[in-house]
Chains A and B, each alone.
Chain A
C-alpha cells in the first residue's frame, strides 16, 4: 500500500502532481485553493523531481503558460477557483482547439461574480458545456473525496495525453479544504526529454533536420480546414464518450427512488440515503465521476427502474438538464440545491426527497 497521509484536498492535488511526474505548475492565488501552490512551493518539487512551479501574474497568464508548456509536450497543471477559471476560458478554448493536454483544477466557490469563498457546484455548465468560445469539450472529473483529488490528478494526466485534450478536475471549496485519509500512489519518474519526444511526436520540441517543422495553433483561416478541425475534435469527443465514462452506484439494486449527485453533494446524499432507508424509503445513489463524458446510458437504465429522481447539486439546477436528457420524461425528476456557498445538510435532502419526489 502507498504512503498514508491526512491531507487537505488541495494539498493532495499538489502532492499528486509531483508524484504523477508533472513537469510544471503555473498558478495564481485565489481562495479556496491557494494551498495547492503553497504546498508546492513549500515542497520544493524542483529538488524532488525537477518540476517547475511558477506564480504567474494572473490566471490569464497561468493558462497561457500551460498552453506554452503543453505545446512542447510537457505535463503541465494549473489550479484556480471560479472567478479565476472564468479568466482562463480563453486559454482553455485555445488548448482544446490546438489539441493540447493539461490538467486544470477548479476548486469551485459560490458565484456569480466575486461571489463567496465557500464551496459551490455552480460551475458545472461552464466546465461541461464549454465555458470558452467554439465547439469544444474537455474531460471533466468530479472527485468526491480527498483520495479522489489525489487519484484524479494522475487519471487526468493519463486522459489528457491519451486524447490530447485539456482535462478539468471540478472540485469545490469543501473538498479542497477538508482533510481526509489519503493513500498516496508511488511516485512516477518525470519523463526524460527523449521519452517525451518519442511519446509526443506532435509536440514543438525543436526541429531536427530530418522532420518537418511543427506548428501548434488553433487557427485555420480556411473554413473548410477549420471544419475538418472541428470534425476531428467531435470524433475525438465521441471516442471519449465511448471509452471513458466513470460513475458509482450505491444501494441501487432495490431502489425505488434515486439521488443523482456529483462531488460533495454525492457524499451528502450518501448520508441522506442512510437516513431515508432507516425510515423505510428505498433510495439509491448514482454518482457521475466523469461529468463529460456524462454517464447517459447508465442513468437511462436506472431511470427505467425507479419511480423518481432527485438531483442534488450545490447550484440552481445544472446537471439536472443532463439527467433529464439521459432519462427522458417518463418519470419525475426534480432538483434540490443550495447556492452561494451553502452546503445542504443530509436532513434537508431527505426532506426534499419526501416532499418533492415521493409526496410531490
Chain B
C-alpha cells in the first residue's frame, strides 16, 4: 500500500500541520512516511501545500506530479491540483470560497463543509482536523489509536489539552463528508 496525497490551501489554514499529524500517525503505526512542504515557485501567492506519502514500503520520490488524493482548501489549489489527481483517484474539497467546481469525470469527488462547521462550533482552530476526519473516513490509512499518538507527538506539550477537541473534530469530519461524484 502506498498513498500519495497533496494537501493544499492558504497559509494559516493548517495545511502543513494536518499533513504532519497524518504523517506522524503513520509513523506511530510504523508505516513509511514522507512530508514535503511546497518548494519552488508554487510557494508564491500565499498558498501552502504539502505532499504526504504513507506507505508500507520504502518511499521513493518525495516530490510528485500526480497524486492518489488531493485535499483542496481554496480555489487556487483546486485550479492547480485538480489535474494532478491520478485517474480513479480522490479529490476532496471544502466548498467554502469555491466558485469554479471540479470538472474531472474520471475521479471520485467529495466535499466537506469543514469551514462552515468549524465556524458554527467555534472550533475554527481545528478546522483542519475536520477535513482530516473526512479523508480518514474514506481512506482509513491509520487507526484512531495511532492518530491519538500522532497528535501527542506532533503537538507541543502545552497544547496536549486540545487533543480531545482535535479527536472530536476528526469524528465530526467523518460524518460531514459527502460524495459529489463516484465513478465506481
Contacts and interface: CB of A to CB of B under 8 A. Distances in A.
Let me know if chains A and B touch directly in the complex, using CB atoms closer than 8 Å.
yes
Interface string B34-54: 111101100000000000000
Contact of B64 (A177, A179, A342, A345): A345
How big is the B interface, by class?
Answer: 20 to 34
Given A179-B35, A181-B33, A267-B62, A6 B40 contact: no
A119 B39 CA distance: 8
Given A5-B27, A6-B20, A6-B24, A178 B62 contact: yes
B61 A178 contact: no
B27 A345 contact: no
Interface stretch (A67-75, A87-95, A268-276): A268-276
Interface size band for A: 20 to 34
A264 B36 CA distance: 12
Which of B24, B30, B63, B64: most chain A Cβ within 10 A? B63
B65 A180 contact: no
Contacts of B20: 6, 179
A267 B39 CA distance: 16
Interface of A: 4-6, 118-119, 173-174, 177-181, 264, 267-268, 270-274, 341-343, 345-347
A179 B24 CA distance: 9
B23 interface: yes
B37 A4 contact: no
Given A178-B36, A270-B61, A271-B61, 20 more contacts: A6-B33, A6-B153, A174-B36, A174-B39, A174-B63, A177-B39, A178-B35, A178-B62, A179-B23, A179-B35, A180-B33, A181-B32, A267-B59, A268-B60, A271-B60, A274-B60, A341-B40, A345-B64, A346-B61, A346-B63
Contacts of B123: none
A336 B153 CA distance: 40
A134 B173 CA distance: 63
A268 B23 contact: no
Nearest to B60: A270
Interface of B: 20, 23-24, 26-28, 30-37, 39-40, 59-65, 153-154
A346 B64 contact: yes
9 contacts: A5-B153, A6-B20, A6-B27, A178-B35, A180-B32, A180-B33, A264-B62, A271-B60, A271-B64
Tell which of B27, B31, B60, B154 has the most Cβ of chain A within 10 Å: B60
Contact of B40 (A4, A180, A343, A347): A343
Contacts of B34: 178-180
A329 to B, nearest CB: 31
Nearest to A346: B61
A267 B61 contact: yes
B58 to A, nearest CB: 8
Pairs A-B, 5 closest by C-beta atoms: A270-B60, A271-B61, A179-B35, A271-B60, A268-B61
A6 B151 CA distance: 12
A268 B33 CA distance: 15
B39 A118 contact: yes
A345 B63 contact: yes
A161 to B, nearest CB: 31
A336 B39 CA distance: 20
Contacts of A267: 59-62
Nearest to B30: A4
B141 to A, nearest CB: 14
Contacts of A178: 34-37, 62
Nearest to B53: A180
Contacts of A270: 60-61
A1 to B, nearest CB: 9
B33 A342 contact: no
Contacts of B65: 345-347
Contacts of B39: 118-119, 173-174, 177, 341, 343
Contacts of A264: 62-63
Contacts of B63: 174, 264, 268, 343, 345-346
A273 B40 CA distance: 24
Contacts of B37: 177-178
Nearest to A182: B27
A6 B35 contact: yes
A173 B35 CA distance: 14
Contacts of A271: 60-61, 64
B28 A180 contact: no
B59 A180 contact: yes
Contacts of B27: 4-6, 181
Contacts of B30: 4
